[in-house]
Amino acid sequence: MRAIEPPASGGPRQARGRKRMAALSLCFVPLIVGCGPHLATKAGDAAQMPNPMLNASYAQEAEVPFVMEPTMATPLSSGRANFGSETASRRTRETADWVVASRDNLNMPFAIVDKVNAKVYAFSVDGQLKGAAPVLLGMGIGDDVAPGISDMRMSLIPPADRTTPAGRFMTAMGRNSHGKEILWLDYENAISMHPVVTSIPEQRRPQRLASPSPLDNRISYGCINVPPEFFTDVIHRLFAGTVGIVYVMPETKPRAAL
């Protein structure tokens, strides 16, 4: 099960059992989405805005990993996301603006993961930035989950198949098989966001997070590792007790399946 890093003991059957337990822990998600009184549908005209995550092509931006631009504070009534003084790539800002203007987040907190620059941005329901942090991502370059790996032991997954999938994920807080709190993105394929794993010192994950370059941030089996304090102070506070959405921007695909 890829949500557990480092590799958990046991074979595919035990992994499937843990996966089913994870799925059950999220069974309340459809109820919240269906019954929440403030989960409005998308606004008419705004819903027709082109989604930046579906624009071709990401290849050029992926070739230049330092595409970061500062942005000024945005008024609350502007219909755009407010990054404050935080730097972000053009496509990240366009995606955040689209989410706010189209109300694609359905009045839920949301986060955007920029895989190219190895960074996550977390927003309140109205698009106010609550925090940003570097992330560690799957070792493999790509935007899809490799077929069949959900039934494989982690240690047997080839490095090229250890990818962080791109897309729009409805998320909820949960716990892994060790009882550690995580934010589930795709429980079927065991993809989650969680505090950085430090149990394998030779992988130097904290040092990779602290590095100013995103080029050494590919080390996980597909999960998104974040600094522990960011997970506690930002992710937990935003997503605990509610459903949210995480947008993982593609790095190789010209079009992402959202």
Token representation of residue 50:
């082109």
At 134-186, the pLDDT tens digits run: 999 999 999 999 888 878 888 889 999 999 999 999 999 999 888 999 999 99
* 3-state percent helix, strand, coil for the chain, nearest multiple of 5: 30, 20, 45
Q: Between residues 67 and 50, which one has the greater pLDDT?
A: 50
Mean pLDDT of the chain: 80
Query: Which residue is catalytic, options 35, 38, 223, 236?
Result: 223
Residue type, 206: P
At 88-142, the pLDDT tens digits run: 999 999 999 999 999 999 999 999 999 999 999 999 999 999 999 999 999 999 9
To the query of whether residue 27 is one of the catalytic residues in this protein, the response is no
Backbone phi and psi for residue 76, each to the nearest 5 degrees, phi listed first: -60, -30
Query: Which residue is catalytic, options 27, 178, 194, 236?
Result: 194
Cβ neighbour number for residue 101 with a 10 Å cutoff: 19
Q: What is the DSSP letter of 77?
A: G
To the query of whether residue 178 is one of the catalytic residues in this protein, the response is no
